[in-house]
Amino acid sequence: MISPNKIKSSTFYNNLNLVLKSNKVNFFQLRLKKEKKKRKVIIAKKILRICKKNKVKFIINDDPYLALKVNADGCHLGQKDMNIKKAKKILKKKIIGVTCHNSIKLAKKALLDGANYIALGAFYKTKTKKTIYKAHIKTLINIKKSINLPVVAIGGINENNYKNLLLNKADFLAISGYIWDNKELKPYQAIRKLI
């Protein structure tokens, strides 16, 4: 699961606790693109406590140094972020994942560089971030056949389409908008709809 783009109020932390209590989340990623470093540290430390309490691994987006500073479980890197080898030197044995969009070539490179998992997508239309790369179920199937790494499916995942990704061997689903920006359901209600 991925954080909303902005964390505005303390109600987020209560909602996060309720969502993680559902036992349906294995990893929680903090993804704040437009937040100052100091504030990110404060937010990350609060989230880390909630993750630990609920036995959920905490991943920081983009920033191995922040992951190290707050003692997160790992870091997720985009293609334009620090390379995996450098991140591994900083984070040692912590989890490192890499976005591979829709590319078998990038997935194989991530495997060779020592990534712990890869993320593919966007599989569906999403408002959480601008969609430049579109992944298809066929991409997922081909990558699962050719590399032995856990695959996280990303992009526009909701209660209507998530099963198709799991049936086609996605190991994890990165969900954000459906949980945090759902007009009909509170976050803990939204997560419960996913079996």
Q: Is 2 helix (H, G, I), strand (E, B) or coil?
A: strand
pLDDT at 127: 73
Strand segments (E) across the chain: 27-30, 57-61, 74-77, 95-99, 117-121, 151-154, 172-174
Rounded to an integer, the average pLDDT of 88-116 is 97
Angle ∠(72,7,163) on CA atoms, nearest 5: 75
- Report the top-level CATH class of 11-190: alpha beta
What is the pLDDT confidence band of residue 132, given thresholds at 50, 70 and 90?
Answer: confident
119 has which bridge partners? 99, 152
Q: Is 83 helix (H, G, I), strand (E, B) or coil?
A: coil
Report the alpha-carbon distance of residue 76 to residue 48 in Å, rounded.
Answer: 16
Specify the residue for token string 């985009």.
Answer: 78
Rounded to an integer, the average pLDDT of 8-21 is 95
- What are the residue boundaries of the structural domains of the chain, listed by start? 11-190
Q: Is the pLDDT of residue 131 over 70?
A: no
Summarize pLDDT for 16-63 with one digit per residue, the tens.
999 999 999 999 999 998 899 999 999 999 999 999 999 999 999 999
The model carries a pTM of 0.94
What's the mean per-residue pLDDT of the chain? 95
